[in-house]
Amino acid sequence: MEKMQIAIAGISEMRWRGNGTTTTSSGNLVMHSGTNDGGRSGVGIYVSKQYKQVLISWSPVSDRIIIARFRCNARHITIVQCYAPTEDASDDIKDDFYNALTSSLTRIERGDIKILMGDFNAKIGPSNNGLETIMGRHGVGPRSNNGDRLIDLCQTFQLVIGGTVFPHKEIHKYTWTSQNGHTRNQIDHICISRKWRRSIMDVRNHASIDSDHELIIGELLIKLRRNSNTVNSG
């Protein structure tokens, strides 16, 4: 994160126990939300030391959802980082996740810029007929059930799926590669409030990391305000 000068990053499948914060030796902050036994899930949000002072509050919702709110010159920004159930999970498990996510998004302060991101295990596809307000035509692969669920959520909360907007080469759209290297999908997404669509300048994978997922980077042109260091959790 430091090498690539990333200000804020969401982490899925973190697998850290419980909830809490960690400050790295370099002064960066990591907030995490998980189960007491670690499990296979867990989510986190990394904040570089340069931007710790704009963090207003954060909330560990579950081992699949974590929320953080940041001070901004225009409007405050609320980031929701997620790790959704896989495509082959039962409908009940998916319903529980999306009900919790809907509840979390509903509680965001009115007027905040919403950024929803994470591993949604959701294939969106390139077709945006009737969905032009929430996605572009540059998604990859056939749409999945999880993709339909994410699209429905974005329609409800007026969010734009950033990775579908920009016309990159296919290799820069894929976010996950199978162990044998034969299957690639676009299942990790960064979404933003539709009113702030023009503030997101790019979304694409930039680097391979020690994972079957790629590091997805969204570039946002939003000025954060660094004049306070009050942070709350709850």
Per-residue burial over 187-202, b if 16 or more Cβ lie within 10 Å, else e, is bbbbbbbeebbeebee
**What pLDDT score does 43 carry?**
97
Half-sphere exposure of 189 (CA within 13 A, CB side): 32
Q: Which fold has domain 8-233?
A: Deoxyribonuclease I; Chain A (3.60.10)
**What pLDDT score does 84 carry?**
97
The pTM of this model reads: 0.90
Q: Which two tokens stand for residue 98?
A: 């999306």
Contacts of 124 (CB under 8 A, 6+ apart): 135, 139, 140, 141, 143, 147, 150, 151, 161, 163, 164, 186, 189
Of 133, 27, 154, give the one whose Cα is nearest residue 82: 154
Q: Which two tokens stand for residue 99?
A: 């009900």
Q: How far is CA 14 from the centre of its chain?
A: 13
Of 174, 189, 205, give the one whose Cα is nearest residue 134: 189
Q: Which residue in the block uniquely carries the two structure tokens 């999880």?
A: 146
| Beta strand 65-70 pairing with 77-83 | antiparallel
Secondary structure class of 7 (helix, strand, coil): coil
Q: Do residues 69 and 112 touch, judged by C-beta distance below 8 A?
A: yes
Q: Do residues 212 and 149 touch, judged by C-beta distance below 8 A?
A: no
- Ranges assigned E (strand) in the chain: 8-12, 19-23, 29-33, 43-47, 55-60, 65-70, 77-83, 113-119, 159-161, 176-177, 184-185, 188-193, 200-208, 214-220, 232-233
Residue 58's CB is within 10 A of a number of other CB atoms, namely: 23
pLDDT in tens, the chain (234 residues): 888 889 999 999 999 999 999 999 999 999 999 998 877 899 999 999 999 999 999 999 999 999 999 998 878 999 999 999 999 999 999 999 999 999 999 999 999 999 999 999 999 999 999 999 999 999 988 999 999 999 999 999 999 999 999 888 888 888 877 777 778 888 899 999 999 999 889 988 876 666 777 788 888 887 666 554 444 544
Q: Which two tokens stand for residue 170?
A: 């296919």
Q: How far is CA 119 from the centre of its chain?
A: 7
**What pLDDT score does 229 carry?**
45
